[in-house]
Amino acid sequence: MNYRISIILSLMIISVSLSGCTGNQSEIDDKNSEISELEERIDNLELEITNKQLESWQEGYNEATNNSQYNIQLSYDQGYLDGLDEGSLYSDEDLALAYEQGYQDGLSNSDSYTYNDLMNSYDQGFIDGVDYMNNSNSDEDLALAYEQGYIDGISDGVTVSTLDTIMDRGHLICGIKENQYGMGYYNYETGERSGLDISYCKAIASAIGLDSETDIEYIQASGTNRFDLLLDGTIDVLIRTTTWTTSRDTSLDADFGAINFYDGQGILINTDDLPNVTSALQLDGASICVASGSTSAGNIADFFNENNMDYVEVDTWNDGADFRDGYCDAVTGDLSSLVSMKWQFEEEGSADFEMAIMPEIISKEPLASVTRDHDSEWNEIVSWVWYGMITAEELGITSSNYQNADTSNPAIYRLLNSNLGLGTDSNPLSNTWFQNVLEAVGNYGEAYDDAFCDGTYDGYSGSDDMSGCLMSRSGTLNALVSEGGLQYSPPMR
């Protein structure tokens, strides 16, 4: 029996009973008042039930609606995740953590209620919702949602090119050394910078259309903080006698570019402490200064172990000064660094002993430019600027003759008058970008001559024609391939 009908019948019985009674009128009034209150409670209860039914129906309707919209959301999310994956911004671990956090937050914010007595109403709402959504959302809707998610994912996943950031800023920030003559050296008396790394920075600035003299900010990068400066965006490119190794390439979010100097680790000794020593194989028991944070420590340990010798390692933050001040018998590092160190001590007269560099080269030290990972368009420019300098020397194109070069030669024409696809959509390199490089620093031979020799090289006659060199290029790995070296450019076409 309907609940409301049963209540009304009860009221009627009470009313009849009262009407048949004789008694105090006030008692009758009290009973009538109770009846009125009961009727009001019935009305309110019926309204409450009706509201619950409506709420339940709406819940069912919303559930069905949300389920259909959820399909679209899942499609969007899948597209977004695929876009992120394509953009290579987030790792699987990041997504798993984000999913888990979302799941936990969902659990903590969800409420579960059971309305068994209103199930029919819920089911009707669910059916109506499904019917509505089935008529309003098509496969095309899902495809569009997926596509939008994919596009948004790509947009968020692809980082802004450093080239675009530099052009918006108006100058290049280059991480360099200031204390190694020939590579990165700052003359505090004249305020001038010199060295092969400095020429490389200038060449990059010129290639992208900046002034190589006024539009470069140089930041000194130490052996320990250089990668931090790169990764946090303090510098745009690292060109600081940095050896390309597996661990640096894979674990530091760094992407190496062109190798501008093929070096190797050597040993510089104090001949007063080590008289009659002419080979590194005679250094058993010597104390050796090793720069903290460098690849030299591992290399020297391997060398002594392989040759069944012992040494005393002097770990130092300033290997050159500690060697000069007598804290060790020898110092090890890149050969280019040792040559510069010896030259500087002799120029200053700051070392009160004789020095000699041992003939053994105990490691491979390819010194390369470095950019951040996932910054391919910028890395391409940094690399191809150097390759262009090598190509120019191979073709005999110099800072003095490029304006009159024979551009009927296709290779020369491409070098001097083609963009070659370098740059970004917003900031493509000009077709004459390499002419700017030649104007600023010349080709590779000219840059090497300015860094290590007397500056008289014509730029095309070959390494044997360089003179007054602190480090000769002739017969070394830094000669062109045509001279038996390793400096070689992929085809520029």
pLDDT digits (tens, 9 = 90+) for 366-411: 999 999 999 999 999 999 999 999 999 999 999 999 999 999 999 9
pLDDT at 196: 97
Domain range summary for the chain, segments of one domain joined by +: 29-157, 163-261+367-483, 265-363
Cβ neighbours, 10 Å, residue 59? 18
Among 493, 430, 463, CA closest to 207: 430
Instruction: State both tokens at 302.
Output: 């391997």
pLDDT at 435: 98
The label of the residue with tokens 């009961």 reads: 38
pLDDT at 301: 94
pLDDT digits (tens, 9 = 90+) for 31-49: 677 667 767 776 776 677 6
pLDDT grade, residue 100 (50/70/90)?
low
Mean local confidence (pLDDT), 241-246: 94
Going across the sheet that includes 312-316, the strands are 312-316, 287-291, 330-334, 265-270, 355-357
pLDDT at 266: 96
* 398 φ, ψ (degrees, to nearest 5): -125, 175
Mean local confidence (pLDDT), 201-215: 98
Alpha-carbon gap, residue 431 to 414, rounded angstroms: 9
Cβ 311 vs Cβ 288: under 8 Å: yes
Residue 63, pLDDT > 50, answer yes
Q: Look over the chain and give the mean of its residue pLDDT values, rounded to a whole number.
A: 85
pLDDT digits (tens, 9 = 90+) for 317-340: 889 999 999 999 999 999 999 999
> For 454, which DSSP code?
-
Alpha-carbon gap, residue 475 to 93, rounded angstroms: 50
| b/e 167-183 (16+ beta carbons within 10 angstroms → b) | beeeebbbbbbbbbbbb
Cβ 308 vs Cβ 322: under 8 Å: no
163-261+367-483 matches 265-363 in fold = yes
> CATH topology for 265-363?
D-Maltodextrin-Binding Protein; domain 2 (3.40.190)
**Which secondary-structure segment (H or E) carries 332?**
strand 330-334
pLDDT digits (tens, 9 = 90+) for 456-493: 999 999 999 999 999 999 999 999 999 999 999 999 99
The domain 163-261+367-483 having CATH identifier 3.40.190.10: the answer here is: yes
Residue 352, pLDDT > 80, answer yes
**Which secondary-structure segment (H or E) carries 14?**
helix 3-19
Mean local confidence (pLDDT), 169-173: 98
pLDDT at 333: 93
